[in-house]
Amino acid sequence: MAIDLVSRREWGARKPRGSYTPINSTRGVKVHYTGGRVDPGIVNDHARCVTLMKSIQNQHMDGNGWMDIGYSMVACPHRKVFEGRGPKRLPAANGAGLNGGHYAVLALVGSSGLVQPTDEILNAVLDAVEYLRARGGAGREIKGHRDGYATSCPGDRLYAWVRRGAPRPGGAPDPPDPHPSFPGRTLKYPPVMVGEDVRTWQRQMSERGWDIDVDGLYGERSREVCRGFQQEKDLAVTGAVNRATWNAAWQEPVT
């Protein structure tokens, strides 16, 4: 199915207050929810989706002080995709320092009211992802907003779908990358950064059986796990996730 795109003109978007920062590509997309109540009535009334879009843009521009709506694309329950900032433009919704890595796709579900994403919403999210891959150089990653930023977004139900590999309703998920590439920097302690790289490493260590919180914060417990793992693998015991430690985390354990 070709994307059912609702252009900015069609939904009555305000003009941006300034120029967009151009981007050529991203590692993929991050999925969001509204974080507030979404009227379940939008499922049967597309006009309410348009009204909600305008409200979100107003909040971002007048409340947050952003130059435009922060999302790249927005998916609604009628399998329509609203054009936000669009492809090849830096979003604002992922968090400071994280916007260049992923486009931002909002699903019109919230923390109350309409909280369960319908099949049409999920299909619209994936239509937006495919559009951003074709038009904006988006990579294969589909992550949740909470992957790299301390937030409940995109909500437990939507995030569970993301964690399953974001499958098409009735279809199969894309196979995950079995060995993520090293992110190009080491994780130092005390931390010089938090977020997605830390969370990825923590999740892998948890899956290997280590008792560690997957919170994106490289604190004392993460350091203890790192040192224990380095000792187990006969690596230099430093408590810092360097290249050798990162790579060893994805090597098959000896049984």
Residue-wise pLDDT for 164-220, tens only, equals 999 999 765 555 544 454 444 445 444 444 456 777 888 888 888 899 988 777 778
Note the pLDDT of residue 121: 97
Average pLDDT over residues 92-110: 93
Average pLDDT over residues 23-50: 94
Q: How far apart are CA 80 and CA 163, in angstroms?
A: 23
Note the pLDDT of residue 171: 66
DSSP string, 84-112: SS-TTB--SSS-TTTTTTEEEEEES--SE
Fold of 5-163: Lysozyme-like (3.40.80)
Q: Hey, do 5-163 and 177-255 end up sharing a CATH topology, with the first three levels equal?
A: no
Fold of 177-255: Muramoyl-pentapeptide Carboxypeptidase; domain 1 (1.10.101)
Q: How far apart are CA 255 and CA 208, in angstroms?
A: 12
CB atoms within 10 A of CB 214: 17
The larger pLDDT score, comparing residue 15 to residue 247, is at 15
Mean pLDDT in the chain?
87
Cβ contact 145:159 at 8 Å = no
User: Is it the case that residue 82 has pLDDT exceeding 80?
Assistant: yes
Average pLDDT over residues 73-84: 97
Q: How far apart are CA 128 and CA 87, in angstroms?
A: 10
The structural domains of the chain, with segments of one domain joined by +, span 5-163, 177-255
